Amino acid sequence: MLDMIISQAANGLVLGFLYVLIAIGLSIIFGMLGIVNFAHGSFFAIGAYLALVLARDFGWPAALLSPIIVGAIGMIVEMTLIRHLYGKEPLLGLILTFALALLAEAILRLIFGGAPVPFNPPSIFAGFIEYGPILITKYRMTVLLVTVLALVSFWAFLRFTPFGRIIRAGSRDAEMVGLLGINLPILLSGVFGIGCLLAGLAGMLAGPLWTVIPSMASGAIMPAFVIVTIGGLGSYSGAIIAGLLVGITTAMSIQFAPAWSGAAMYVLMAAILLIRPRGLFGERWERFE
Amino acid sequence: MTPENQKGGKKSGTSRRSLLAGAGGLAATQFAASNFGMPYIGNAAAAEPIKIGMLWAKTGAIVDQATYLAQGGFFAAEQRNNQLLGRPIEIVWLDEPNPQGAQLNAQRLIDEHKVCALIGGAQSSLALAISAVAKKSKIPYVAANAAALDLTGKLCNKYTFRLQPPVDVHTRVLAPYCEKLGKKWYTITGAFAFGQDIKASFTDYITKAGGSVVGSDEVPVSTADYSSFILKIRAAKPDVVIGGLSASDLTTFLKQWSELGMKGKIPFAEISIGNTDIWGVGPEAATGIYTMVWVYNNPGNTAEDKAFVDAYMKKFNEPPADKAWMGWFGMRSLLESIELAKSTEPAAIVKALETWRVKEGDLDVGYRDFDHQMKRRTVICKVKDKIPNKWDYVDVLENAPKTAAEIDEAFGSAASSACKMDSI
């Protein structure tokens, strides 16, 4: 039994890291733009479809362009639609992004049809890594490494680059950043684009594991919201810890109470919010008070 | 009446003479229609469409199958030039996002759109929900895709007809194949009516056959990652895994089953799958032995089915998925029954559906009167070792059961049925 628990925990960690990648974009978009982006899952789905098309037509290396294209699409969406919502009633953002999610799903269905499209991991990542009771496929290990690399890079970008410092400052007091002569609209477009890029990256990595279907966004968006809520809205480290917690909790519930595995992350969220209503690393943000 | 009419002046749009001429013309038309074998001319003149309510999912996990089911339904109407009883057919398609939503939309179709019959219910839970509305509103309903036992079992009703064989029939057909592979089974089934029926019926079968179920998991619908379930199956070392996952859930499972190296190591079997479930897996990962209601290149298909395949391929440039056929056949049974009834009255349509029959080889296929279950053969198929193109994934092993007596036994008799049919 101990072997199974260790094996499930390792597997849960991989799943958790994938969730983190989806959630982190959602978290930074909320933290810095104040928009609860219901369309975040759509960017995940677009990332998967783009990766599929690029890999099929030009080979797997071309699929790496998918997150960048998704990021660019995200910036266009921000500049044309999202921008008009800043400082307005939060409900408007919910309605617009929800409508965007429905529109994106309809467009994907129009282009690719409603049926699942085959998309499997590249043959170079076929096979497993077995270490004692732990069994992880090479592709999942790659997903884990890419995710960790993306998270560390993004953290370093926020921490050590001037643009990162501006983003962090803007997330706390956007008005003051603007008064200092910084072009705030471009900054916000960039942040939204980065959030979408991360969702696209998650879609590219998850596409070969999950079913690529227009409605796949819904499978991604709920865990992302749960993770952001558990970690604390807008918290980078909170999203990472929460993602791993959700992954491990889901894996353990599958081992011991499989019928409850779908509800496990919601029970975890409820338990954490009862103890700490702002989430694990949630802080008091003046601009949202 | 308008003020002008009330005054009786010449401004009135209808004179007594034109009114008489119109009435005379109408009477002559009705006379000609009834006396020269054209009973529908009167209705055609009115051109009031015959409305059919369609409830196939437009969103959610089952939408891939539902798209084909709907396409088949529209195609059946198109093949009749959208005409029935000399009147245009109007298909009103609403979503079935969940059981509650399906019920609300079924009620809307009946109350607002005034449909004379319903077709839909892409999943068992949705079909059961719609069936309750059909019963309450006394509107004929064809469930073309749901397999849960209760639909034509203990929750049967006079207005509900089901095309898909129920789970226990599929089980009786497939379980002997699984038994040949070994007697230690593991079930992984969806946590809803269809999955629970599969779990119960396969467990019952193997227990009676002296085998055992070494593990059993009920999986929430729309699970994105099955790796933890697969690790459990791997540790349990069963001879066969019996699946009960529907639509894209099955696709996801098979992709991850192959990714985790289980393809070819432990056989996987499932009943009542759809083409799209396998098409989405891809040739590298597809595996398993299945039952399907219909397969486009089954050598046992009837001439009518072959004509349907040709017409479909001509229109859509791809072979029809089984769900397209089910949508088409379900709608065909409904439209032909309305034609047979020569009426859109619910009671007349129900009676016609009970007597509607088509020939499939030696078998008269139709809905049985005592439970409204369609009785026909099921296809047992296996994923090919080498998949030649993106549609041709399976080899047909058998059209089962073979004889009419075996079919009767598989479907059960009126005496053994849990259905206590009500009256109109």
Question: B258 CB near a chain A CB, below 8 Å?
Answer: yes
- Note the pLDDT tens digit of each residue in A236-269: 888 899 999 998 998 888 888 888 888 899 999 9
Which of B123, B228, B260, B262 should we substitute to test contact with A (largest number of A Cβ atoms within 10 Å)? B228
Q: Do B284 and A208 touch (CB under 8 A)?
A: no
pLDDT for A167 equals 82
Task: Give me the residues of chain B with pLDDT under 70, please.
Answer: 1-46
pLDDT for A227 equals 92
For A58, the domain range is 2-288
Average pLDDT value over all residues in chain A: 88
Residue B205: both structure tokens together: 């079968």
Look up the CATH number of the domain holding residue A110: 1.10.3470
Q: Do B64 and A140 touch (CB under 8 A)?
A: no
Residue B54 β-bridge partners: B93, B119
Rounded distance between C-alpha atoms, residue A97 and residue A124, angstroms:
38
Q: How many beta-carbon pairs under 8 angstroms link A with B?
A: 128
Architecture of the domain delimited by B168-292+377-411 = 3-Layer(aba) Sandwich (3.40)
- pTM of the model as a whole: 0.83
Residues in B closer than 8 angstroms to A258, CB to CB, are 217-219, 229, 232
Q: What is the DSSP string of chain A?
A: -HHHHHHHHHHHHHHHHHHHHHHHHHHHHHHHH----TTHHHHHHHHHHHHHHHHHHH-HHHHTTHHHHHHHHHHHHHHHTGGGGTTS-HHHHHHHHHHHHHHHHHHHHHHH-SS-B-----GGG-SEEEETTEEEEHHHHHHHHHHHHHHHHHHHHHHHSHHHHHHHHHHH-HHHHHHTT--HHHHHHHHHHHHHHHHHHHHHHHTTTS-B-TTHHHHHHHHHHHHHHHH-TT-HHHHHHHHHHHHHHHHHHHHH-GGGHHHHHHHHHHHHHHH-TT-TT----GGG-
Question: B321 CB near a chain A CB, below 8 Å?
Answer: yes
Q: Do A137 and B259 touch (CB under 8 A)?
A: yes
Sign of CA dihedral A193, A198, A203, A205: positive
**pLDDT, mean of residues A109-117:** 88
Q: What is the DSSP string of A76-118?
A: HHHHHTGGGGTTS-HHHHHHHHHHHHHHHHHHHHHHH-SS-B-
Nearest CA in chain B to A216: B61
Question: B285 CB near a chain A CB, below 8 Å?
Answer: yes
- Indicate whether A67 pLDDT > 90: yes
| B212 compared with A283, residue with greater pLDDT | B212
Question: B220 CB near a chain A CB, below 8 Å?
Answer: yes
Rounded to whole angstroms, what are the CA distances from B327 to A64, B99, B140, B257, B313?
40, 20, 16, 30, 16
pLDDT for A123 equals 83
- Note the pLDDT tens digit of each residue in A198-251: 999 999 999 999 999 998 888 888 899 999 999 987 788 888 999 999 989 988
CATH class held by domain B47-165+301-366: alpha beta
Alpha-carbon dihedral A259, A265, A267, A273, rounded to 10 degrees = 180
Q: Do A211 and B252 touch (CB under 8 A)?
A: yes
Q: Do A258 and B66 touch (CB under 8 A)?
A: no
Name which of A217, A37, A27 is nearest B61 in CA terms: A217
Considering all CA atoms of chain A, what is the largest pairwise distance in Å, rounded to the nearest integer? 61
pLDDT for A262 equals 84
Provide the number of structural domains found in chain A: 1
Rounded to whole angstroms, what are the CA distances from B45 to B2, B25, B91, B343?
26, 11, 20, 16
Question: B252 CB near a chain A CB, below 8 Å?
Answer: yes
**pLDDT, mean of residues A76-100:** 90
Name which of B347, B368, B344 is nearest B357 in CA terms: B368
- β-strand B141-143 against B117-120: which pairing, if any? parallel
Surface of A (75-114) touching B: CB under 8 A: 105, 109, 113-114
**pLDDT, mean of residues A10-30:** 86
Identify which of A12, A215, A263 has the shortest CB distance to residue B60: A215
**What percentage of chain A has pLDDT greater than the value 70?**
98
Element of type H or E holding B44: helix B41-46
- β-strand B289-292 against B268-270: which pairing, if any? parallel
Rounded distance between C-alpha atoms, residue B59 and residue B66, angstroms:
9
Residue A266: both structure tokens together: 């919601």
Question: A243 CB near a chain B CB, below 8 Å?
Answer: no
Helix (H, G, I), strand (E, B) or coil at B123: coil
pLDDT for B35 equals 44
Phi (first) and psi of residue B268, to 5 degrees:
-120, 135
Question: B66 CB near a chain A CB, below 8 Å?
Answer: yes
Q: Look up the ipTM and state it.
A: 0.84
Edge-to-edge strand list for the sheet holding B87-94: B83-84, B87-94, B50-55, B117-120, B141-143, B160-162
pLDDT for A284 equals 64
Alpha-carbon distance A12 to nearest alpha carbon in chain B (angstroms): 8
| B13 compared with A111, residue with greater pLDDT | A111
Residues in B closer than 8 angstroms to A219, CB to CB, are 222, 224
Q: Do A116 and B64 touch (CB under 8 A)?
A: yes
Residues contacting B339, CB < 8 A, separation 6+: B84, B85
Question: A259 CB near a chain B CB, below 8 Å?
Answer: yes
Alpha-carbon distance B254 to nearest alpha carbon in chain A (angstroms): 10
Residues contacting A237, CB < 8 A, separation 6+: A231, A281
Residues in A closer than 8 angstroms to B251, CB to CB, are 116, 211, 213
Rounded to whole angstroms, what are the CA distances from A284 to A31, A36, A287, A289, B7?
12, 17, 9, 8, 77
Name which of B243, B259, B251 is nearest B275 in CA terms: B251
Surface of A (154-193) touching B: CB under 8 A: none
pLDDT for A289 equals 52
Helix (H, G, I), strand (E, B) or coil at B164: coil
Rounded distance between C-alpha atoms, residue B218 and residue B227, angstroms:
14
Which of B71, B96, B196, B225 should we substitute to test contact with A (largest number of A Cβ atoms within 10 Å)? B225
Alpha-carbon distance B127 to nearest alpha carbon in chain A (angstroms): 21
